[in-house]
Structure 1
Amino acid sequence: MTATLIPATLAFRDDGTPFSPRYGDVYHSPSGALEQSEYVFLRGNHLPGRWQNKRVFTVLETGFGMGVNFLATWAAWRADPARCERLHFVSTEMHPFSRDDLRIALAAVVERTARADLADLAHALADAWPMLVPGTHRLEFEGGRVTLTLAFGDALEVLPKLWLRADAIYLDGFAPAKNPELWSPPIFKALARVAGEDCTFATWSSAGDVKRALQQSGFEYHKETGFGDKWTMLTGRFAPRWRVRRHEPPLPVALDERHAVVIGAGLAGSALVERLAARGWRVTLIERHAEPAREASGNPAGVFHPLISRDDSSASRITRAGFFYALQRWAALDAAGHAPSRTHAGLLHLATDDEAQAVAAALESFGYSDEFVRGVSREEAEAIAGTSLAQGGWFYPLGGAIDPASLCRAQIAAARALPGAQIDVRYGVAVARIERDERDEVSAEKAGSWRVYDDAGALVAQAGVVIFANAHDASRAAALDFAPTRNVRGQLTLLDASPLASLRVPVIGDGYAVPLPDDVTLVGATYEVDDTDTTLRAGGHTENIERVAQMLPALDALRDASSDDQERRGRVALRCVTSDRLPMIGQLGDEQAARHDAQRLSGAWPLDLPRTPGLYGAFAFGSRGLVWAALGAELIASQLEGEPWPIERELVEHLDPARFLQRALRLRAL
């Protein structure tokens, strides 16, 4: 269960040095914050020299604090003409500052340094600062070339859950005597799991316990002259004399060319195109329809919001991370001139008595900010909604509704607009099968790449990576036996001259109502498992109206007339879902290899499973594609590039397309 996040308290000593009352220690040396960062962490890790001319370089930090180490690293990267293409900075923080306190703290640092470049970076960091909720937050700067991944929570808990390959480690935080947990052996053991070859570290501390914990975890250290009033500091590298980990940290996929075929141009596929293009990939997008978003992604509107649960379940944590990341990506589309059509006034969730009690307990337990979610009475909810409601519930100020098709088009357009973009879109092409090209000769494509054939048997594309983002057809096209998905028929209803014309925000509960232009209200939707009939049914309209009328009494008149022989507008789409209601995101398992080695793999964990080289999936998003698609695309792009994963590894395992293969192995059902 996620612990409540307690923000830091900002205080200053008489000499102006930021101070933590909780730990009784300063945030940086009185001799200067930026100077300490540059001397201890940059110089101590031989930066910027070590990142020069590399594609990706990753820094891992224990204790983000005020973010000065990040700003110093970002500034050095900016000033280096031979800098790496993409800089990743990953940091943990148990007590993050509020945005306002962070601005104050960084303003003091900037004033002391009198560096205009640092002021610009400090403003950018504060502007992008995430909401203080537990979990992993990914922020992007410099057009995505500098990425900050913040893990809010106790480092003892969150650090072992991160998955990355660190090139440099900044051991920072309050003094070992003040915060011994951050310098304990479990922390260094977690660092050893993710340290890459030639990974270096630096720290201002030279305490004996720190030196012993470093050695025990496979690091070798050297004492050097310290900064300011510190006599000595430690630098060193990861150089284990024995095996200290079961799995090697992630590496980029080995390809002659970074070229991917994405099958499906709905929410999942269009997000993948944008995330891969942002990293310079050549992408071939194949869609069987004549335009994007013609299946479930083609509904007139869809709602987006987090998921609150009393135990902060895995689904809640994944959805929360996806919600915040989606908002970031949509804001970036807005800024780039590719704004999708969406609402900005929030979303109301009306609850039954049992739901209200559970959510109220969760809100009290986790102490979420009102800007994230807040409980509302019926009277408060009605004031927000602009219409009468049957009960209260809770309000998501950042939730709302979006036109999914406009989002898909925006992402594809943004990808095509990138400098040097290589995006080839093939509409009207139905993928029938793929096969591995096992030729030995070297061609324009990597030998052993995947060949994609249409339903007429013609070769339509070939690449080292194929990503299935085509919902119901993914398992068939990828020839998967252990990727069980089901179709769920969803019929929605469009109410013209709607009695809910005054509705200001989307309202959800046992059904949903979304205000559309021209006094139209979208209500829905039915949930009919294993029903693939896409014709509109009068009974479906009746069901939608009756269910939503229980939440919004203004529809009572229509409910009474819902059995009349009148034609209503609507749409039917088929959702693709799994038995655990979580999507399939990541590299596909090699089922044939698993069968051959089933006995040994009966106790396998996800990282133990054999994988099919170059095949990935992003499907079975059910009704949460809007909040999962961008995060799923970022996860797959990170896996391909060997970058830090955007969410905790344990959550990724819940999304793993091979999780059902793993279950079958454990049940010896192969």
Structure 2
Amino acid sequence: MTDPLIPAVLAFRDNGTPYSPLYNDIYHSAVGGLEQAHYVFLRGNALPDRWHGRRVFTVLETGFGMGINFLVTWAAWQADPARCERLHFVSTEKHPFTPGDLRSVYAATLSDPRIAALAQTLVDAWPMLVPGTHRLEFEGGRVVLTLVFGDVQTSLPVLRLRADAFYLDGFSPARNPEMWAPAVFRSLARMAGEGATFATYSSAGDIKRALLQNGFVYQKVDGFGWKRAMLVGHFEPRWRVRRHEPPLPFASEERHAIVIGAGLAGCAVIERLAARGWRVTSLERHGSVAQEASGNPAGVFHPMISRDDSVASRVTRAGFLYALKRWADLERSGHAPLRGGHGLLQIAADDEEARLMVEAIAALGYPPDYVTPVSLAQAERLAGMPLARAGWLFPSGGWIDPASLCAAQCAAAGHLLERRFGIHVARIERTTDQWTVFDRAGQAVARAPVVIVASAHDASRIAGLRYAPTRSIRGQLTLLPPGAVPPLSIPVIGEGYAVPLTHGTTLTGATYELDDPDTLLRPSGHRENLERVARMLPALVRATDTIPIESLAGRVAFRCVTSDRMPMIGQLADEAAAVSNAQLLRGAWPLDLPRSDGLYGAFAYGSRGLIWAGLGAELIASQIEGEPWPLERDLAEDVDVARFLLRALRQQTVNGQ
């Protein structure tokens, strides 16, 4: 189970220097935090000169602390007319500050008004204090802060990135030896790009030895303030120190991608690529966006809570938090999707589940702005009507109109998006450095160096995948007209769901019918939806008994799912090459698999497309651009399109073995 996050405690020494009571060490030199950041970390890594002329430059820091190093680096980037196009700053932190404490420490220590303004922007964007990877974007996405809340020894091994500079800024080795453990330096070597530099305030002998053992060379230079010496250096291994090279951008001079499918998955990819300056051709078989499951009148969004903090819970948490950030950015840019107010209530299936979830939320240490248990009386006040049981509240959960989200994402892409509707894609083919897309008549309809297949049930067929099994789930929704049932104050979910839409309509659903292709509404489906909702909301029993089932409106859509109910996201494997080398790949890991150049997938989102699509799109865009991944590597492997091929190789069940 993921360890609960324990926030930092704000304290000050008598001279006003902030320090950590847990480690009994200061966050920065008493001479000055801004000055230390400039001298030790920017100057120690030859910045800003080293990022000149670069498209992407990545800094990895061990120990975010107050964030002073990030703020000073951001300010230097702002002031530099020759700055890199995108600055990535990745940092780990086991004990992050609460937003209130961060605001207080900045007010007490920052005298530079320019840095103080950036600090205010950072606090306003500060993520919820839950474990995992959090991605924050500033400067229109040109400055990206990826915060990893968790222990450095478990966080660094699961990062996937190519670092250009390292800020080694943990508390002193004597007071916090875990930050300077051998495993930390092995992780740095795994992520170091060619010529990557480092700087650290410390000059302890154990650190020197660990650097040398992991392929770094160092030199001792004058320290900052009262510190006599510090270390700087670069990555120059004299022997092989890693199995896999850190990621590089896809090699193509033409920044043009084809996205097949214009539902939630495809439109999210369109927006993320266009935000990086890519020209995108969208191919959709229908006459407009969001015509399949993404065309439902509304969808609920919320994280998933499990007592063991399962993979599904961790991926869903990451997707939920990232989606909230992306939607807020769309709203600020004038492309607001239609969504309800804040808050979503989940009702326990029985009293035992209610008790277990209260215990799980407490054990996992979730803050109340993420999820909070509520008693039956509290739940009824929130919902505005009697309920069957207690449950838990997601204050930032709610409902959103998926089609409006797709439209907002396409609008945000602006002139970089070419939309083509009525295109029935049959197959794709790669020749030299281009992918060609063919329609059902065998005609070539588009060419580009990159293709992202985001067409749900058709994705495996179009991409020619044999080891990407998906199935179809028929889902029927029911719309209750205004006045038919008492109005809810917020969405309520549990065995089913009830969502109060605009103009008094209530959405309920949805049925779950495996491999059922029937597109017609069924009275039995409406009845099933109403019965499930009535078990959560007893006040609806009498109301639904009086509604003629045959008169109800609704919608049928088909969810695309995998056997493990996880999505398919990322670069596709070259299945033919893998099969031909099956014996060599029996013990392979995901990074060992041969991959199809320029071919990616985003599909099988099931009923969680709203919260998986944005994160999946960001992961794909990061893979294409060679940027730090927005998701821990082990979680990315759990959603990797190639995971079923990998299982077949390990089990020796691929054709040719």
| Bin of the TM-score, shorter chain as denominator length | over 0.9
Q: Structure 1 CA distance, aligned partners of 2:26 and 2:439?
A: 64
8 A Cα contact 2:569 2:616, kept in partner: yes
Letter in 2 for 1:89: F
8 A Cα contact 2:486 2:539, kept in partner: no
Q: Structure 2 CA distance, aligned partners of 1:107 and 1:212?
A: 39
Shift of 1:432: 1.1
In the alignment, structure 1 segments of 5+ residues that lack a partner are 439-447
Shift of 1:612: 1.0
Shift of 1:331: 0.3
The equivalences for 1:213-252 within 5 A come to 213-252=210-249
3-state DSSP of counterpart to 1:60: strand
Shift of 1:498: 4.1
Shift of 1:558: 4.4
* Structure 1 segments of 4+ aligned residues over 4 angstroms from their partners: none
Shift of 1:454: 1.4
Moved more, 520-529 or 497-506: 497-506
3-state DSSP of counterpart to 2:572: strand
Deviations 1:338-389 (A, max 9, x none): 1111112300000123432332221110111111101111111110011111
The equivalences for 1:378-393 within 5 A come to 378-393=376-391
The equivalences for 1:506-585 within 5 A come to 506-561=491-546, 566-585=550-569
Letter in 2 for 1:110: L
The equivalences for 1:66-215 within 5 A come to 66-111=66-111, 115-215=112-212
Deviations 1:60-94 (A, max 9, x none): 00000000000010000010000000000000000
Shift of 1:519: 1.8
Letter in 2 for 1:308: I
The two structures have a TM-score, normalised by structure 2, of 0.98
The equivalences for 1:204-353 within 5 A come to 204-353=201-350
Shift of 1:435: 1.0
8 A Cα contact 1:454 1:460, kept in partner: yes
Q: Structure 1 CA distance, aligned partners of 2:163 and 2:526?
A: 54
Query: 1:445 matched to which residue of 2?
Result: none
Q: Structure 1 CA distance, aligned partners of 2:503 and 2:73?
A: 51
8 A Cα contact 1:501 1:520, kept in partner: no
Q: 2:619 aligns with which of 635, 638, 651?
A: 635
8 A Cα contact 1:34 1:109, kept in partner: no
In the alignment, structure 2 segments of 5+ residues that lack a partner are none
Moved more, 358-367 or 526-535: 358-367
Letter in 1 for 2:341: H
The two structures have a TM-score, normalised by structure 1, of 0.96
Shift of 1:394: 0.4
Deviations 1:199-252 (A, max 9, x none): 000001001111111111111100000000100000000111111100000000
3-state DSSP of counterpart to 1:466: strand
Q: 1:428 aligns with which of 422, 431, 445?
A: 422
Check if 1:495 corresponds to 2:489: no
Moved more, 353-362 or 591-600: 353-362
Check if 1:482 corresponds to 2:482: no
Q: 1:361 aligns with which of 359, 362, 373?
A: 359
3-state DSSP of counterpart to 1:125: helix
Q: Structure 2 CA distance, aligned partners of 1:134 and 1:415?
A: 31
Shift of 1:260: 0.6
8 A Cα contact 1:499 1:554, kept in partner: no
Q: 1:397 aligns with which of 395, 402, 407?
A: 395
Check if 1:608 corresponds to 2:602: no
Moved more, 514-523 or 72-81: 514-523
Query: 1:650 matched to which residue of 2?
Result: 634
C-alpha RMSD over aligned residues: 1.0
Query: 2:407 matched to which residue of 1?
Result: 409
Check if 1:372 corresponds to 2:370: yes
Shift of 1:557: 2.1
Deviations 1:301-324 (A, max 9, x none): 000000000000111011001001
3-state DSSP of counterpart to 2:464: coil
Check if 1:618 corresponds to 2:615: no
3-state DSSP of counterpart to 1:574: strand
Count of aligned positions = 653
Deviations 1:85-118 (A, max 9, x none): 000000000000000111111222322xxx2211
Q: Structure 1 CA distance, aligned partners of 2:522 and 2:501?
A: 22
Q: Structure 1 CA distance, aligned partners of 2:139 and 2:521?
A: 47
3-state DSSP of counterpart to 1:251: coil
